[in-house]
Amino acid sequence: MPKQTQPRPVRLVCGLGNPGSEYAQTRHSAGFATVDVLAERWGVRYWKEQQGNLVATYKLRLPDGNTREILLAKPQSYMNTSGGPLSKLMRAEQIQPSEILVVHDEVDLPAGEVRAKWAGGLNAHNGLRSVAAKLGTQDFARVRFGIGRPPGKMSVADWALRQLKGSFADEFAVQANLAADMVEDVLVRGIAACS
């Protein structure tokens, strides 16, 4: 059994999602929605293409008065290959897996719930599987954005990729703000304190 890595202060927040306007208002793009909320809160307007990701930078002021540069990233490949662009960005920026926070949708959490977690399983999530495969480890921080299980006999894929409208879209936007709150908490207090 490989020795588990210990978490370090987060330097990169990666939201998982699918690129393109047809996926913007879907549960599967919960990670993108959360990163977009953070960018809006922080007044980040400049995004650049870097190693197949949309990337923005923010200097986070910590309670002790110091600052830490945080990268926001949205891999621009589809969800099941998002580990490729993320791992290239991490190599370019010399960021370790123990310094990233991945925000993703989670069917095993009820809609409306947000939880932080260090390491552990991948819950059959193709985006997490891709990230873990490319990084060679499951030892990284996550913020799990609950989307719940689909009703009736609907497939998980249809549930995750359905366009959200009306009250569903409103609830999703509220939850993206809760997830952004959780990310900010992890950035300041660390994943161990927030899990």
Q: Which residues are catalytic?
A: 28
Residue 28: burial class (beta carbons within 10 Å; 0-12, 13-18, 19+): buried
CA–CA distance, 60 with 82 (Å, rounded to integer): 25
Report the amino acid identity of residue 42: W
Contact 27, 112 (CB under 8 A): no
Contacts of 23 (CB under 8 A, 6+ apart): 17, 29, 161
Report the alpha-carbon distance of residue 124 to residue 111 in Å, rounded.
18
Reported in sequence order, the residue ranges of 93-148 that DSSP labels E, i.e. its strands, are 100-106, 114-118, 141-146
- How far apart, in whole angstroms, are the C-alpha atoms of residue 2 and residue 14? 25
Q: Which residues pair with 146 in a beta bridge?
A: 106
Count the neighbouring beta carbons within 10 Å of the beta carbon of residue 158.
10
